[in-house]
A and B are shown apart, each in its own frame.
Chain A
Amino acid sequence: MEKLYESQKLALWYFWTAIVLFGAQLLFGLIAAYQFINPDFLYGTLNFMTNRMLHINAMVVWLLMGFIGGIYWFLPIETDREVVGIKLGKLAYFAFVGAVAIVVLVYLFKQFGSGDFFTLWFITEGREYIEAPRWADIVIVAVALTVAYNVIATTIASKKITGILGVLIVDLAALFGLYIAGMFFTPNISMDQFWWWWVVHLWVEATWEVLVGVLMGWLLMHLLGTPRKIIEAWLYVEVMLVFGTGILGLGHHYYWIGTPEYWLGIGGFFSSLEPLPLVAMVVHAVYDAGAHKLQTVNRPALFWAFAQAFGNLFGAGVWGFMHTLPQINLYSHGTQMAAAHGHLAFFGAYVSANLALFYYILGKTRVKEGYILNGVPWKIAYIGLIVGIFGMTAALTVAGFTQTMIERATLGSTWEAYIQAQMHPWMEEAFKWRLFFGVVFILSYLVLLYDLITAGKRGEQLKEAQLAG
């Protein structure tokens, strides 16, 4: 075990905070899933809207924290020096955690406010995914700026810029700059949603994808020893494909919000190509798996990296493609199809990436040279989480098809049509299956948590490691 840079210690703080928030995401998701079956549960106390807001906000924040952790881990290795503004970085961490804690408490105990700007500034902005009140937005932007500053300043101080760092800097600037597009009020809902998608889509379907490409590139380079030249060539291909399809793929959110008709063609064309970079990633993963015969000093990190490649392709690629063309989206837009896609895509693309990075870091901090990180619990968690997410996705897909067919295509999208679809056995059953697999998922999370806490420290693991060593 080498001595850690301060930046890498900060990375560990970020990852532990992320994992705790992951748990919070699952808890509120579970309550929300149960409310589909028993709507009286916590009715009036902790309404669905509050649970759902906490569910998706915890997700956005913990994934971002994991990414920041990944950046702080690899940045000193890549630049061969301590991060320049490390004190500022630590301060930003506390500001971030403090802001999140206050926002969560306000969400839980205040929940909503009266219809004025005070509510938007101090309680919630009420815009899906970016509900955080405006004051917290400002803190998030400040935190983001310190991360960007640290990356740029450290790169300059090291006097060399690698291809990976170049991509990272451009991507971070875009990623954090875009957040500002979501920080204004307009009474015009078409305008509101137009810019809102600039944040939401250009994050998850463009800049986040590239950021994860950078982090997974570093991971493969250090975990498997893949040559830098190959990683960088792949990264450039990824950037070309992700930005080449994803930027105008934004158009698939502009079909029905009042925006002009040309978005139907532009959005349909480019978004249906969005799976291309994901196929490329799978090709890379399969190649690496074969080249290394699945052997490495860190099994869980390697397996989560594969889960990332395949999960991204299935969740973002296949499930996204299912309803991206306007011809089907006219009926499936705003149904459980989007929930099915969202669950698998976020898990595949981003949850898996964060877990791969976290396991890699744990291996580096806990396992001695010559030993391997392995064991039984991570396998249980790995299989359990994957079965859980696919089960939830399958159930939501059935619900989504049913809703599309009954509410939208047959009964005409009215309030009553909505109720008829929701009460159809195909949807009611699906919500029960989703809850069942949600429980499987959260139990697997507990195993994962146990393994993350104890991996590399357990007696049985050392024995196995010695055998392998």
Chain B
Amino acid sequence: MSVGWLEVVVATLFLSVVVSLVLARGRHWLEPGFWKVAAIITSSVMVITLILLSVDTVRKVSMGSKRVPQPSVINREIGYVYNPDRRAMEPVFGKEVGLFGKVWSEEEAERLIVKGKLVIQSRNCMDCHTLLGNGAYYAPDLTKAWLDPKWEKQIMPATGAKSKEEAMKIFLMHPDKYPTWFRRMPNLTLSEEEAVAVVAYLKCMSAIDTNGFPANFPEVKVSQIQ
């Protein structure tokens, strides 16, 4: 179903006004009863519209949809480039490169993503960081953290890791040892398994089509768009 925002706006307002006026006819506009009808009708129209839109949205943000890829996307090369037709940045996907030196099956990837989300909630990441822009503002946004140039520029040399994912894992297990400025992430006692899951989660999150948020992020190209 393709939904146009303007049609929704015009239809909800039109329905609210017309149905309210029809049902409240005969009542003076200064009577409470007139506004009671308007309140009930307007609220109902909005609730019904929200439910219909939610049904459509839930379908479109389910894992495996165009906007929110399957967990196995962690095996692919992920980029973030400007699409001039959409006038917005969007994720792009390249060849299969694996993660932590292996290619994860769909089931393995899903288990990893579930674990990653549990770790993110259990460590309360959202009360310092933002994820998809929501959370607290004490630490950087993590929406495209997987694509952040700082891992290669600063954290890989600091940790001596051979790959970005290894550097992220080491950083997450001992963030207190690798301060990037005067606010330091505390050590939240992540096990190696948990750190791997969080890295996978961050990679998976960077693949979500967020309508161009964050804008203006440095482009990350992939070798061969598929």
Residues of chain A touching chain B, judged by Cβ–Cβ distance below 8 Å, are 32, 35-36, 39, 43-44, 47-50, 52-53, 111-117, 119-120, 123-128, 131, 163, 167, 185-194, 196, 229, 232-233, 236-237, 239-240, 243-244, 247-248, 250, 253-266, 269-270, 330-331, 333-336, 338-339, 403, 408-409, 412-416, 418-419, 422-423
Complex Cα distance A382/B173, Å? 47
Whether B128 lies near A52 (C-beta < 8 A) is yes
Q: How far is the CA of A187 from the CA of B73 in the complex (A)?
A: 14
Which are the 3 A-B pairs with shortest beta-carbon distances? A265-B5, A115-B119, A126-B121
Interface residues of B in 105-158 (CB under 8 A from A): 110, 113-128, 130-141, 143-145, 148-150
* A260 lies within 8 A of B3 (CB): yes
Known: A120-B118, A422-B183. 15 other contacts (CB 8 A): A36-B138, A39-B182, A47-B128, A47-B186, A124-B121, A126-B121, A189-B132, A193-B132, A247-B47, A256-B213, A259-B67, A265-B4, A334-B141, A414-B150, A419-B181
B135 and A190 form a contact (CB under 8 A): no
Q: Which among B56-64, B93-101, B159-167 touches the partner chain?
A: B56-64
Q: Does B18 contact A (CB under 8 A)?
A: no
Query: In the complex, A360→B58 CA distance in Å?
Result: 45
> Can you list 21 A-B pairs, Cβ within 8 angstroms, ordered by A?
A36-B138, A114-B191, A115-B116, A131-B124, A191-B63, A193-B132, A236-B36, A244-B16, A248-B46, A253-B134, A256-B132, A257-B132, A260-B56, A264-B211, A265-B4, A330-B215, A414-B150, A415-B180, A418-B139, A418-B141, A419-B180
In the bound assembly, the distance between CA atoms of A221 and B50 in angstroms comes to: 34
Q: Which of B36, B131, B205 has the most CB of A within 10 A?
A: B36
Q: Is B22 an interface residue (CB 8 A)?
A: no
Give the nearest-CB partner of A411 in chain B.
Answer: B216
**Nearest chain B CB to A194's CB is how many angstroms away?**
6
CA distance A199 to B84 in the complex (A): 36
The answer to whether B114 touches A412, judged by C-beta atoms less than 8 angstroms apart, is: no
Q: In this assembly, does B83 line the interface, its C-beta being within 8 Å of a C-beta of chain A? A: no
Give the interface of B toward A (CB within 8 A): 3-6, 8-9, 12, 16, 30-32, 35-36, 38-39, 42-43, 46-47, 49-50, 53-54, 56-58, 60-63, 67-68, 71, 110, 113-128, 130-141, 143-145, 148-150, 176, 180-184, 186-188, 191, 194, 197, 205, 208-218
- Which residues on A sit within 8 Å (CB–CB) of B117? 185-187, 189, 192
Select one of B62, B137, B212, B216 contacting A334, CB under 8 A. Answer: B137
B62 cross-chain contacts in A, Cβ below 8 A: 188, 191
Question: Given A112-B123, A113-B122: A260 and B50 within 8 A (CB)?
Answer: no
Cβ–Cβ contact B118 & A189, under 8 A: no
Q: Tell me the nearest residue of chain A to B187, going by C-beta.
A: A44
Contacts of B115 in A (CB 8 A): 115
Measured CA separation A298–B126 after assembly (Å): 42
Bound-complex Cα distance A82 to B188 (A)? 51
Contact call B127/A190, Cβ cutoff below 8 A: no
Indicate if the CB atoms of A127 and B126 lie closer than 8 Å. yes
B50 contacts A258, C-beta separation under 8 Å: no
Known: A187-B110, A188-B61. A243 touches B46 (CB 8 A): yes
- Chain A hits for B71, CB < 8 A: 187
Write the nearest CB–CB distance from A281 to chain B, whole angstroms. Answer: 15
Chain B nearest CB, measured from A327 CB (Å): 11
**What is the bound-complex CA distance between A463 and B130, given in angstroms?**
54
B140 touches A415 (CB 8 A): yes
Collect the chain B residues with CB atoms within 8 Å of residue A240's CB.
35, 38-39, 42-43
Which has the most chain B C-beta neighbours within 10 Å: A36, A247, A331?
A247
| Residue among A115, A117, A196, A331 facing the most chain B CB atoms (10 A cut-off) | A115
A258-B39 in contact (CB<8A): no
Residue of A49, A262, A330, A331 touching B128 (CB-CB under 8 A):
A49
**A163-B32, A189-B208 known; A258-B132 Cβ under 8 A:** yes
* A120 & B61 in contact (Cβ 8 Å cutoff): no
**Residue on A with the closest CB to B153?**
A416
Which chain B residue shows the least CB distance to A170? Answer: B43
Bound Cα distance A255, B5 (Å): 13
How far is the CB of A173 from the nearest CB of chain B, in Å? 12
Q: Are A258 and B68 in contact (CB under 8 A)?
A: yes
Give the complex CA separation of A130 and B138 in angstroms. 19
Distance in angstroms between the alpha carbons of A262 and B54 in the assembled complex = 12
| Shortest Cβ gap from A87 to chain B (Å) | 34
Please tell me if the beta carbons of B137 and A237 are within 8 angstroms of each other in the complex: no
Closest chain A CB from B216 CB (angstroms): 4
Contact A259 B214 (CB under 8 A): no
Task: List the A residue with the shortest CB-CB distance to B214.
Answer: A413
User: Given the complex of chains A and B, what is the CA–CA distance between A423 and B181 in angstroms?
Assistant: 9
Q: Return chain A residues, CB-CB under 8 Å to B39.
A: 167, 236-237, 239-240, 243
Min CB gap B119→A, angstroms: 3
Q: Contact between A236 and B213 (Cβ–Cβ < 8 Å)?
A: no
> Which residues of chain B are near A259, meaning CB under 8 Å?
57, 60-61, 67
Residues of A within 8 A of B31 (CB): 233
A338, B47: Cα distance in complex, Å: 26
Chain B minimum-CB-distance residue to A267: B5
Q: How far is the CA of A7 from the CA of B129 in the complex (A)?
A: 42
Q: Do A269 and B46 touch across chains, with their CB atoms under 8 A apart?
A: no
Q: How far is the CA of A115 from the CA of B201 in the complex (A)?
A: 13
Q: Which of A49, A258, A339, A416 contacts B124 (CB 8 A)?
A: A49
CA of A185 to CA of B32, assembled, Å: 43
- Which residues from B are CB-within-8-Å of A112? 122-124, 188
Q: Given A189-B132, A233-B32, A265-B6, are A128 and B126 also a contact pair (CB < 8 Å)?
A: yes
Contact A247 B46, beta carbon cutoff 8 Å: yes
A414 in complex: contacting residue of B8, B191, B217, CB < 8 Å: B217
State A67–B58 Cα separation when bound (angstroms).
32
Q: Which residues of chain A are within 8 angstroms of B145 by Cβ–Cβ distance? A: 415
| Minimal beta-carbon separation of A134 from chain B (angstroms) | 11
Question: A119 — which chain B residues lie within 8 A by C-beta?
Answer: 118, 121-122
